Amino acid sequence: MNIFRVKSIQELQQEARDNEKLKRSIGTPELIALGVGAIIGSGIFVLTGVAAANYAGPALTFSFILSGITAGLAALVYTEMAAMIPVAGSAYTYAYASLGEIIAWIIGWNIILEYTVASGAVAAGWSGYITDILRSAGITLPASLVNSPYNGGLINLPAVLITALMTLVAVRGTTTSAKTNKIIVAVKILAILAFLALGIPRVNPANWRPFLPFGVSGIIHGAAIIFFAYIGFDAVSTAAEEVRDPNKNLPRGIIGSLAISTLLYIAVTIVLTGLVSYTSLNTPSPVTTALMAAGVRGASFIVGSGALAGLTSVLLVTIFAQSRVFLAMGRDGLLPSFFARVHPRFHTPWLTTILVGTFVAIIGGFLPIGIIAELANVGTLSAFFTVALGVLILRYTRPELERPFKVPFMPWTSLATMACTIYLFFNLPPLTWLRFAVWMVLGLIVYFLYSRHHSLLAKSEENPPARPDFLPKFPFKPLFFPRPLSAPLTLRLRMLRRRK
């Protein structure tokens, strides 16, 4: 059985038309809000403090620039794929069309790591902010109910509750999710602008010294850690089957959301590290901590509320995105068929969404945020690398395909994307590689025990599947067998296939 079988792009597009159960109700503004809603959240409101305190110091600004360049390159290759293959599933679907089933499975398995684990980190960050806001109002929650067992508590209950609420919103429908997300994103951006307006006059340049406490290597390590903050733009492509005009709206949504988010990241990082010393930012709620340290206690409540809104939108979008990837994998038979079930009234993959929400609640309620973020980065980087490679392969093997958006400066853009993602991957902590290896082994076990036997593409193939276009073709028969021997052998093989 050929594990490198490839789905044709025409087949993917026809499949999306045949499965027109998802409602096309999203336009460019909703896509940009979806992207900004996923990107801006944990990066600004959670990881900035951890990365500044432990990895880069005030030079975290350059870490965001380095990560932003990598994400920008990845955004270009994602945009070409999304416009050419406007089908749910994001990098998983793109890999299926260019690299083969086993690679698609690996990427889909890693996207689970990316979105589900990232959602858990966001839920944990949300809990940190709500705890600080309530404490500033004189309400102190029991430590055992706001800390994971790794941090001396029983369960992070606020993280579990907000996950349950966002799962319910995601189940209710795409239109409901999009409208809710737009409102939350507006609140979030207003809160960020308020933080900048309140923080800039109180910046103390002395807090930027030393600027490179961890050296240049600290900038690179910081970029590898906070790359987690850029995972949101690829969530835009998971909504492809729910977009009114995917060929035009998807490129605008991906590039627009990334550009807005990168500018806000850089601005907030400069102000944040200027308000207080980077050594005091190792907390799940660095924005609130910085404002309180600068003496702006009333404003910290406002900005903290905006941070809650930001993290809420990230949680909603990542749960939304993960459920669509599961939908695509279930539709292909690589996961059980219930993953592909769509609610007749809400037009959403409701069972999948509930399952995703359950896992997110478990992760956010019982794991520390540092470990969660590192694992999410691995999934993100592997997905970006695969999409860049897929674009390059399709440019070579299928040059005739219609491409509403074409990546400029090919093949250099794809090669640069792959080089940056590999470089950042190897700057993650070594323990993260070990956890990633364990995750990959589990994924391969699931594939070979279940997925490859239930693949609908395999079942639909009456003849032996062709090798992927990017693999060399060898003239086995003329090379190994003389003509009189090759014909009987070929006939014998055909008879065996018919018996099967």
**Number of structural domains in the chain:** 1
Position 488 scores a pLDDT of 45
Q: Is 130 contained in some domain?
A: yes
Distance separating alpha carbons of residues 182 and 125, to the nearest angstrom: 21
CB neighbours (10 Å) of residue 483? 8
CB neighbours (10 Å) of residue 387? 30
Q: Is 84 contained in some domain?
A: yes
Which ranges of 398-429 would DSSP assign to H, the alpha helix?
Answer: 412-425
Contacts of 265 (CB under 8 A, 6+ apart): 40, 43, 44, 64, 68, 229
Which ranges of 173-296 would DSSP assign to H, the alpha helix?
Answer: 174-199, 215-226, 233-237, 246-275, 286-293
Position 88 scores a pLDDT of 66
Separation in Å, CA 22 to CA 18, 87, 126? 11, 11, 30
Position 55 scores a pLDDT of 84
pTM > 0.85: yes or no: no
| Average pLDDT along the chain, 500 residues, taken 10 residues at a time | 75 62 66 78 71 85 85 82 74 82 86 77 81 78 77 81 87 69 81 86 87 85 76 68 72 82 86 86 77 74 74 80 83 83 77 86 74 66 84 86 82 89 79 81 90 81 50 41 41 49
Domain range spanning residue 342? 17-460
Q: Is 39 contained in some domain?
A: yes
Q: Is 229 contained in some domain?
A: yes
Position 425 scores a pLDDT of 79
Q: Is 467 contained in some domain?
A: no
CATH number, domain at 84? 1.20.1740.10
Q: Is 499 contained in some domain?
A: no
Contact (CB, 8 A) for 180 and 169: yes
Q: Is 85 contained in some domain?
A: yes
Contact (CB, 8 A) for 133 and 304: yes
Position 445 scores a pLDDT of 92
